[in-house]
Chain A
Amino acid sequence: MQFFGGSEISPSPPAPTASGNNAHMMYVFNRNGICLLYREWNRPLRTLSAQEDHKLMFGLLFSLKSLTAKMDPTSVEKGNLGVPQLPGQGCSFHSFRTNTYKLSFMETPSGIKIILVTHPRAGDLREPLKYIYNLYVEYAVKNPLYTPGTPIKCELFNTTLDQYVRGLG
């Protein structure tokens, strides 16, 4: 018989390693749900295929955005749940934290969504996410060989990203 609200205490997360990457993984989506980039540095548990994983992540964020906007106590708009919003409009959530990880999120008005999953004691990552957006502009958007709306396959971008994320406190 399943007993909900069990007495076992949730396991505490592993301490972040002193060296090596502090982040677990990163996603970049565009407005159409296409995963432009997925970087993985530290992910011991993988349960879904890559495509399902991306869809799940995108769907989660889409719903979370909608929900947080709907529950906004300061807003006077009476939009219905599920009504499509313009990216950047209304209130926007920027992170959630569990006992094992923290997910930080940033969305631009052009619909580019950047998600960074780190250890739970990470601080406010809004500035780093903006910096990553700048890296995206420099290495992907400005690259004439890159077609916008397709997955990014640029080694230089990956290396720069890895280096930057490694340096995050």
Chain B
Amino acid sequence: FEETKAQHSPFTSMAPVAPRSGDVIFASVERVNAELFTLTYGAIVRQLITDLEEVEEVNKQLDQMGYNIGIRLIDEFLAKSNVSRCVDFKETAEVIAKVGFKMFLGVTASVTNWDAEGTCCSLILEDNPLVDFVELPETCQGLYYCNILSGVVRGALEMVSMKTEVTWLRDMLRGDDAFELQVKLLKQVPEEYPYKDDE
């Protein structure tokens, strides 16, 4: 008990704290029942399908919801993980796969399929808590059930100055053998001085 108290006190160490690993953070955050999470997500998708009817619309809406989550999630991620700015996109992908996914979903992803410039890669998820118990019916064949994840990654990266394109290459609900999310860096957007020069 004393140990955790010391850990949370802001005065314990003055030296810069090293970034925390995904497992450590996952163990220390409040967690919710996995089934509750899976079933709640399922209910959201189900309701979107009923409301919007068009599968393409549902995909877009899921992505937008993910984006709105991502722009907030990034601050929680940065605060809890203590990660400083990544040197290059390769490091960014590793951090997302190993720390980010672990921290929020409890599973790690692997990073593969780098292109020559190092601006495009794939995150492979063997295990995906969103899709437990899920089977896509005939009427929803074009649905990207996990599209919220692509929005989250895109939103979070945009808040750290990276404009990306995130798409699903493989989807187990559609018959593939794994979940493969392609993350492509379009450009880095550095901070500009926001005020116009006054006279």
Interface residues of A (CB under 8 A from B): 31-33, 55, 58-59, 62, 83-89, 108-112, 123-124, 126-128, 130-131, 133-134, 136-137, 141-142, 148, 169
Contact = CB atoms under 8 A, between A and B. Distances in A.
Contacts of B194: 32-33, 58
Nearest to B162: A86
Given A110-B160, A111-B191, A126-B16, 6 more contacts: A108-B78, A109-B85, A127-B14, A130-B82, A134-B79, A141-B75
B4 interface: no
Interface residues of B, number: 28
A87 B161 contact: yes
A86 B85 contact: yes
Interface of B: 10-14, 16, 71-72, 74-76, 78-80, 82-85, 159-161, 188, 190-195
Contacts, number: 83
Nearest to A124: B14
Contacts of B195: 33, 55, 58-59
Given A59-B195, A87-B85, A131-B10, A110 B75 contact: yes
A110 B195 CA distance: 19
B190 A86 contact: yes
A127 B192 contact: no
A142 B10 contact: no
Given A109-B84, A109-B160, A127-B11, A84 B192 contact: yes
A112 B75 contact: yes
A148 B191 contact: no
Contacts of B160: 86-87, 109-110
Given A62-B193, A86-B191, A141 B13 contact: no
A141 B191 contact: no
A34 B171 CA distance: 40
A41 to B, nearest CB: 19
A109 B14 contact: no
Contacts of B11: 127, 169
A69 B58 CA distance: 46
6 contacts: A84-B193, A87-B160, A109-B85, A127-B11, A131-B10, A148-B71
Contacts of B10: 127-128, 130-131
